[in-house]
Amino acid sequence: MMIHEAHGIPLMLGRMTILAGILVMPADGRTGELQASDASAGGTKNAVKPATAIESSKVYLLVFPDDKDAWKVPPPELHWKELHRQLDEKAARLIRIVPRDQVDESVFVDFEGLRLYADGPKCRQVWRSRITASYHIRTLLMRLYAKTGIEPDRIPVHGEAGKKLGTKNMVLIKAGEYVRTGHYYTSQSAILGERRGDRYRVKVAAFYIDKYKVTNEDYCRFLNDGNPGYWNSIPWSNIKRDESGRFTVDP
């Protein structure tokens, strides 16, 4: 499931996701079914379709760019329309959507819980060496997902701490139709700002959400139990990684 409002605030990627310390998962095991979201200032609609059987057989493939400019993140001071145009252009140059049976699934790049496949060992090495790659990929994937509904693969979960507990200690949020007020906040212009647009109806699939927040200690146990690829330093800024590779809470 991937739901994004106000242009990435919040953002959920994957069937089971930790967001701001809360675990969220779809009630029926399918991809999310957000039918409309605020796509631009003024509240215009941008349909996000659930992945079909055909789409789910496709994956994202990282490719070696033909020039260095493709790696550069657009400056935040750009007008949001120009910013989105440049992001779409870079996404087309760096990430392809291909049938799953046409990729070597042993050649991949893991980051922040996602597994993306690379167009050969050299391509993988280049992507892994890029310090800003994870931020750049995440931004570009948001653009591609909004257009295609194709979910990135998740990194396989390892260890005892990562075993799924089903829906224990979770509550069901029923499916329904809701009215979007058209009042939202966006960071399109690099500064969080208030926006207003037309009201419209949105269909949301049923999903489960955890009753309790995931603690820093819980997250560290999960990461240290064979799941370092799920590390995301942005919302978990008070967790550090020592020289041995273990994660600890920074008091």
Q: What count of Cα atoms within 13 Å lies in the side-chain half-sphere of residue 45?
A: 15
Q: Are residues 64 and 102 located together in one domain of the fold? A: yes
Q: Are residues 33 and 19 located together in one domain of the fold? A: yes
Q: Are residues 113 and 41 located together in one domain of the fold? A: no
Q: Which of 128, 150, 172 is the last residue of a domain?
A: 150
Could you list the residue range(s) of the whole structural domain that residue 231 is in?
A: 215-251
Give the global pTM: 0.60
Q: Which of 131, 150, 169 is the last residue of a domain?
A: 150
Statement: residue 241 has pLDDT above 50: yes
21: left (phi over 0), alpha (psi -120 to 50) or beta: left
d(CA 96, CA 102): 12
DSSP character string of 147-194: HH-PPPEEPPP-SSTT---TTTTEEEE--EEEEE-SEEEE-TTSS-EE
Q: Are residues 127 and 76 located together in one domain of the fold? A: yes
Q: Are residues 168 and 236 located together in one domain of the fold? A: no
Mean confidence (pLDDT) of the chain: 73
Q: Are residues 79 and 119 located together in one domain of the fold? A: yes
Q: Are residues 237 and 200 located together in one domain of the fold? A: no
Q: Are residues 164 and 44 located together in one domain of the fold? A: yes
Q: Are residues 75 and 133 located together in one domain of the fold? A: yes
For residue 101, what pLDDT band results from cuts at 50, 70 and 90? Answer: very high
Q: Are residues 68 and 103 located together in one domain of the fold? A: yes
Burial class (CB in 10 A: 0-12, 13-18, 19+), 50: middle
d(CA 251, CA 220): 13
Could you report the per-residue pLDDT of 43-83, keeping only the tens digit for each? 333 333 333 333 468 999 999 877 778 778 888 788 878 88
Cα Rg of the chain, angstroms: 19
Q: Are residues 64 and 110 located together in one domain of the fold? A: yes
d(CA 147, CA 22): 26
Q: Which of 103, 121, 150 is the last residue of a domain?
A: 150
> How many structural domains comprise the chain?
3
Q: Are residues 34 and 72 located together in one domain of the fold? A: no
